[in-house]
Amino acid sequence: MSSLLDFDRQHLWHPYTSMQNPLPVYEVESAHGVRLRLADGRELIDGMSSWWAAIHGYNHPILNEAAEKQLHKMAHVMFGGITHEPAVSLGRRLIDLTPAPLERLFLCDSGSVSVEVAIKMALQYQQARGEVGRTKLLTIRGGYHGDTFGAMAVCDPVNGMHHMFQGVLVQHIFAPLVDCRFEDPWRDECLDAFRELIATHRHDIAAVIMEPIVQGAGGMRFYHPHFLAGVRELCDQHDVLLILDEIATGFGRSGELFGCDHAGIAPDIMCQGKALTGGYMTLGATLATAEIADVISAADPGLFMHGPTFMGNPLACAVACASVDLLLQMDWRDKVKGIEQILVEELEAARSNSLVADVRVLGAIGVVETKEALDVAVIQEKFVERGVWIRPFGRLVYIMPPYIITADDLRYLAQTLVAVLRES
């Protein structure tokens, strides 16, 4: 073991790992395009986009240029009392891209923080309206919204990643899993449980929060657009805000620019992160309607109570502008559709595996769900030996590659996934 890996094992705490029995890690020396180059010279085709983020791949010349150009001006400056061109330019882009009611933008540090900001906005908005009893959020089971405490409280309380914190998290209201898959014929009764909960608790609920169409780390499920459209109608009916967590779904991953576009609806508050900078820098954004901003600003204390140190970071904003422009200039819709077609073709072979419970694909997301949890260390090593980077968790093995991936590389990724599961 190299001194670097030895130090890592002894001192660096990786996400969702034990320090007494850590999972193996692989030293990455560099990355270019869709390939990660390990320190031992091996190259891996990246099937994860670094957790949804690196949609343009790695070491992209346009994003590199944007970062280098901004770095020579200023890497960071406080956003309190100061503004700058990268933040304003990014704000213009995001407001133009998102549904019309979203006209106010809060730039923050990360996706999890954008969820915290959204929750705080909803609560402060209701308080400003005199609705002091509206302190709960309504969501659906199977969701994942981040690892900070506000976000954890609206993640799935039973099968999520944070069940051991139940005793200290705020208790919110959870509707059952959506019982209508994306591709299934719509059944209106799928909304019955949600309909009943929002009506029963309408005086307690400040907002509904959901991942639109695609549930990410909570289960990688794809639900019917009519469900989301129905939730929008119910929120309007009961005077409840709708927060949509587009951190994973934003910027084309599901086949539409944003997940809410599948349903043709707009939220009152939208959270963004991950692919916002193309995976280069950590950055989050929370967009809200003008009404929410005006109501909060008109009531005591006359301002929104949040202000991260690195909000509006100019280096991150500059790269985000370049990433958004790069996405819009490419035929992203065709590329994502092409990825979807190949994943459908290649992952279908996994259905015959007795270990597999389900196979599902939407946009540039391919998921194989197994009947039992997998040994991550063992299966990860098999993937690396075959030259691919696929990071499973629990019973889920999934691919969400950079949009620039070639058909040959994608087929190899998917075929390797199927082959490794067949051997497991």
CATH of the domain at 368: 3.90.1150.10
Using the structure block, give the residue that is written with the tokens 């901003």.
Answer: 293
Domain end, chosen from 329, 357, 387, is at 329
Give the residue among 339, 347, 342, 336 at the shortest CA–CA distance from 417: 347
Domain end, chosen from 286, 301, 329, is at 329
Backbone φ, ψ for residue 257 (5° rounding): -60, -40
Tell me, yes or no, whether 252 and 306 share the same domain: yes
Backbone φ, ψ for residue 379 (5° rounding): -70, -30
Q: Side by side, which strands form the sheet with 43-46?
A: 28-32, 35-38, 43-46, 388-389
Q: For position 157, what pLDDT does the model report?
A: 84
As a whole number of angstroms, the distance between CA 350 and CA 357 comes to 9
As a whole number of angstroms, the distance between CA 187 and CA 20 comes to 48
Question: Do the domain assignments include residue 47?
Answer: yes
CATH classification of the domain holding 197:
3.40.640.10
Tell me, yes or no, whether 234 and 130 share the same domain: yes
Tell me, yes or no, whether 268 and 214 share the same domain: yes
Question: Do the domain assignments include residue 191?
Answer: yes
Question: Do the domain assignments include residue 159?
Answer: yes
Tell me, yes or no, whether 251 and 385 share the same domain: no
Tell me, yes or no, whether 323 and 182 share the same domain: yes
Question: Do the domain assignments include residue 64?
Answer: no
pTM (predicted TM-score): 0.97
Regarding beta strands 136-140 and 173-175, do their DSSP bridges make them parallel or antiparallel, or are they unpaired?
Answer: parallel
Tell me, yes or no, whether 177 and 273 share the same domain: yes
Question: Do the domain assignments include residue 313?
Answer: yes
Question: Do the domain assignments include residue 251?
Answer: yes
Tell me, yes or no, whether 258 and 166 share the same domain: yes
As a whole number of angstroms, the distance between CA 109 and CA 94 comes to 16
Q: Pick the catalytic residue: 46, 156, 245, 409?
A: 245
Domain end, chosen from 310, 329, 348, is at 329
pLDDT tens track for 235-249: 999 999 999 999 999
Question: Do the domain assignments include residue 67?
Answer: no
Q: For position 161, what pLDDT does the model report?
A: 65
Helix pair 192-200, 225-237: axis angle to 10 deg: 20
Give the residue among 260, 222, 224, 177 at the shortest CA–CA distance from 363: 222
Q: How many domains does the chain have?
A: 2
Query: Amino acid letter at 207?
Result: A
Q: Pick the catalytic residue: 6, 16, 69, 375?
A: 16
Q: For position 279, what pLDDT does the model report?
A: 97
Residues in the chain where the model's pLDDT stays below 50 = none
Q: Would you tell me how many other CB atoms lie within 10 Å of the CB of residue 209?
A: 27
Tell me, yes or no, whether 131 and 37 share the same domain: no
Write the CA distances from 287 to 36, 97, 113, 245, 342, integer angstroms. 34, 11, 13, 11, 34
Known catalytic residue at 16? yes
Known catalytic residue at 144? yes
75 close to 314: Cβ distance less than 8 angstroms: yes
Tell me, yes or no, whether 323 and 335 share the same domain: no
Q: For position 424, what pLDDT does the model report?
A: 86
Question: Do the domain assignments include residue 314?
Answer: yes
Q: For position 91, what pLDDT does the model report?
A: 98
Q: Would you tell me how many other CB atoms lie within 10 Å of the CB of residue 221?
A: 23
Tell me, yes or no, whether 55 and 125 share the same domain: no
Tell me, yes or no, whether 21 and 140 share the same domain: no
Range of the domain at 412: 3-59+331-423
Q: For position 165, what pLDDT does the model report?
A: 84
Query: Amino acid letter at 350?
Result: A
Q: Pick the catalytic residue: 58, 125, 144, 280?
A: 144
Tell me, yes or no, whether 324 and 335 share the same domain: no
